[in-house]
Amino acid sequence: MKSPTFALALHGGAGLEPAKLSAAQKEEYHASLRQALEIGWKLLAHGAAALDAVEQTVRALEDDPLYNAGRGSVFNSDGRHELDASIMDGASGLGGGVAGVLTVKNPISLARLVMAETPHVLLIGEGAERFADEMCDREQIARVPNDYFSTERRRREWQEALEKSRRASRGEPDRETVGCVALDAQGNLAAGTSTGGTTNKKFGRVGDTPILGAGTYAANETCAVSSTGTGEYFIRQSAAFHVSALMAYRGLSVDEAVKHVVEKLLPADVGGIIALDRQGRISMCFNTAGMPRASADASGNIVTGLERP
């Protein structure tokens, strides 16, 4: 009897500069990646759905202040945190997203409820917060004050960006956005992505993360995709869907499709993409200095990385 095939991959954003990290800091990232990966992998190993593995893995990353998602999210130009997330089910083609949420501890779970409990795909700002109020009886929708997401590291980055903005009006690139893709033993794919956006971003700015086809995409026929980087470029290219389309219409492998989008369609030094196909083949490509990432297959072999391969 053939053993079930399942796999999981995740990223922690394409804004990291590994050369500036100490050995201890690098190990902190590797340990964090392994911990999050093991959460999703164990779920898949026990027969859980890819969608559940993605949600729980992203929740773990949202709770880790190392990353720009959930706790540890960057400050916007008003000195607040506006969080975005999306999730998509490759089996049904359904997905959900939220943008500009202020008090939801784990936006990825609210995004899943948008998919499951409403006829909509994307809820934003006040509407997303009111929907969270309606979901208050759900254990996975914890509420926190906005300053829960603050860390001193992000505050320093914001203050530096404020100083720079006196000379230029552009926000800083996305840093440490998180995402996950999974294939379960039933052959279903799923993807999810979560972020705090860009440091000193204009209030109300929305990047690619909560937009299906830009930051997140999943279709059982092709692949599951999660993007990270300066979101405007990913939106303009429909980057996540573009990977799937290259596989469906041109017959490219998942690795060929991901590399085509990152290396030929996106400008240099803007981000990266992870993707997983229905055979469990994983591709992780980025054109920045670093991208924390990890993957595991059904054998339990875990691989983590920060720098370029």
Query: What residues are labeled active site?
Result: 177
Q: Is residue 61 a contact partner of residue 36, using CB atoms and an 8 Å limit?
A: yes
CA gap 192, 300 in Å, rounded: 21
CA count, 13 A, side-chain hemisphere, 88: 26
CA gap 100, 27 in Å, rounded: 32
Pairing of strands 216-218, 223-229: antiparallel
CA gap 34, 57 in Å, rounded: 11
CA gap 272, 215 in Å, rounded: 10
- Per-residue exposure over 107-129, b if at least 16 CB sit within 10 Å of its own CB, e if not: bbbbbbbbbeeeeebbbbeeebb
Number of H helices, E strands in the chain: 8, 12
β partners of residue 181: 9, 191
CA gap 277, 243 in Å, rounded: 11
